[in-house]
Chain A
Amino acid sequence: MAEFRFALRQTVPVLCGYLFLGLAFGLLLQQAGYAWPWALLISGIVYAGSMQFVLVGMLGGGFASLLSVALTTLSVNSRHLFYGLSFLDTFKQMGRAEPYMIFSLTDETYSLLCGVEIPKTLKANRVRLWMSALDHGYWIIGSVAGAALGSVLPFDLTGIDFAMTALFVVIFLDQWRAAKSHLPAGIGLVFALIWLVILGPDRFLLPALVCTVLALTACRGKLEPSAMAAGAEPSAETDAAGQEEVR
Chain B
Amino acid sequence: MRELFSEQVLSNLAIVLVASLCTILVRFLPFVVFGRKGTPGRGVLYLGRVLPPAVMAILVVYCLKSTSFAAVSGFVPQLTAVAVVVLLHLWRRNTLLSIAGGTVLYMILLRVL
Contact = CB atoms under 8 A, between A and B. Distances in A.
Contacts of A88: 30-31, 34-36, 38
Given A162-B78, A227-B45, 13 more contacts: A45-B17, A48-B23, A60-B8, A73-B22, A78-B55, A81-B47, A81-B48, A83-B27, A162-B107, A169-B86, A172-B53, A175-B56, A227-B50
B52 A175 contact: yes
28 contacts: A34-B12, A38-B16, A79-B55, A81-B26, A81-B27, A81-B30, A81-B48, A82-B45, A84-B29, A88-B31, A98-B31, A159-B106, A165-B82, A168-B56, A168-B60, A169-B86, A169-B102, A172-B56, A175-B52, A184-B51, A185-B56, A189-B58, A201-B65, A212-B55, A224-B42, A226-B49, A228-B42, A228-B45
B23 A47 contact: yes
Interface residues of A, number: 100
Interface string A49-83: 01100110011111101100110011111111111
A173 B12 CA distance: 33
Given A20-B99, A79-B51, A169-B82, A50 B27 contact: no
Contact of A209 (B36, B55, B85): B55
Contacts of B16: 38, 41-42, 45-46, 55, 59
A231 B45 contact: yes
A181 B29 CA distance: 27
B81 A84 contact: no
B59 A168 contact: yes
Contact of B107 (A160, A208, A231): A160
A123 B55 CA distance: 37
B103 A201 contact: no
Contacts of A209: 55, 58
Nearest to A48: B23
Contacts of B12: 34, 38, 59-60
